[in-house]
Amino acid sequence: MHADGPTTHHPDTVTSPAPPFAAEPTSGPGALLTRAVELLHGRGAGSGRTILGLTGPPGAGKSTLAHYLVTEIDCREGPGTAAYLPLDGFHFSNTQLDRLGLRSRKGAPPSFDAWGYVALLRRVVNERFHDVYAPDFDRTLDEPVAARHVIRPHTRLVITEGNYLANADAPWPEARGLLRELWYVDTEDAVREERLLRRHTIGGQDAATARRRIASNDHLNGEYVKSARAVCTRVVRAGDLPVAVDGRSVH
């Protein structure tokens, strides 16, 4: 994919960009796995690393799909062939969010070290002879944690997922320029909000506080993400997603 030029948008403003790519239908997780494997072996695969991006609003099922693809590809192609790199690992710490006055907007675009994320994607592409470590977000701690994931020298497909990979504000177009494809995970708002409510209450918030967070923050972030769906190469419908590994929830 090629990055389009950055423009300025406010996260709370919904726009409708012209679609440079046509969304492609899918039919279940097996079809998604087949396409991901094609990125390894198909035309244009080359000998370097390929990065597949997954985007969509909060609670759409991006990380569940990413984990499924990594697990299944490693089973087929050998351990370490695929690796996971989540944008959520680049959340600012709570200390930095407090310093910036962003604690109530945690998960919004300004609450991420987005440039650090792009720098790590570049390392993944360019550094092939040693391990590259990636951070994650720990929902129990409610904090990012360093080096939970590793991209090995023999890793050929890296699956990265995050809310804002399709959006137009800098540096997201730079990140998008490093991706081979970008898939949009499309799940109904009511389903996503139920998942978010469960996520926030499991994290320790009471139901009323969790609902206020969804209305004042998660909903705004989700609408901003939806505004950029047209730039994605493929739309993944909720019915095509795999069941979460734990059998209970989708992330």
Do the Cβ atoms of 9 and 15 come closer than 8 Å?
yes
What is the percent of the chain with per-residue pLDDT over 90, rounded to a whole number?
80
Question: Is 187 within a domain?
Answer: yes
- Structural domain boundaries enclosing 196: 29-240
Instruction: Report the number of distinct structural domains present in the chain.
Output: 1
Hunting for tokens 């569940």 — which residue is that? 64
Give the pLDDT score at 243: 86
Instruction: Using the structure block, give the residue that is written with the tokens 């990055």.
Output: 3
105's tokens: 């907007």
CATH number at residue 50: 3.40.50.300
In a domain, 161, yes or no: yes
pLDDT at 237: 95
Cross-strand partners of 52: 159, 181
Torsion-angle region of residue 161: left (phi > 0), alpha (psi -120 to 50) or beta? Answer: beta
Burial of 191 (0-12, 13-18, 19+ CB in 10 A): middle
Q: How many CB atoms lie within 10 A of CB 129?
A: 5
**Per-residue pLDDT tens over the stretch 90-139:** 999 999 999 999 999 999 999 999 999 999 999 999 999 999 999 999 99
Task: Grade residue 24 by pLDDT with cuts at 50, 70 and 90.
Answer: low
Contact assessment for residue 51 and residue 178, using Cβ atoms and an 8 Å cutoff = yes
Instruction: Name which residue leads in pLDDT, 189 or 43.
Output: 189
Which band of pLDDT confidence, cut at 50, 70 and 90, is reported for residue 9? Answer: very low
Average pLDDT of span 45-51: 86
Whether this prediction's pTM lies above 0.85 is answered by: yes
Mean confidence (pLDDT) of the chain: 88
| 24 falls within a domain | no
Nearest to 84 by CA among 98, 111, 56, 65: 65
Angle at 223 between CA 219 and CA 228, to 5 degrees: 150
Residue 21: its pLDDT value, please?
Answer: 45
Instruction: Tell me the pLDDT tens digit for each residue of 51-73.
Output: 999 999 999 999 999 999 999 99
Domain presence at residue 217? yes
Give pLDDT, residue 190.
96
Q: Which of the 8 DSSP states describes residue 46?
A: -
Residue 45 has a pLDDT of 76
pLDDT at 245: 54
On whether residue 18 sits in a domain, the answer given is no
**Is 5 contained in some domain?**
no
HSE-up of residue 199 (Cα within 13 Å, Cβ side) = 19
Q: Looking at the chain, which runs of residues are DSSP E strands? A: 50-55, 82-86, 132-138, 143-151, 157-161, 181-186, 234-237
Q: Quick check: is 9 in a domain?
A: no
Return the SS3 of 112.
Answer: strand
Q: In this structure, is residue 23 part of a structural domain?
A: no
- In the chain, the percentage of residues whose pLDDT exceeds 70 is 87
The confidence band for 26, taking pLDDT boundaries of 50, 70 and 90, is low
The answer for 59, left when phi > 0, alpha when psi is -120 to 50, beta otherwise, is left
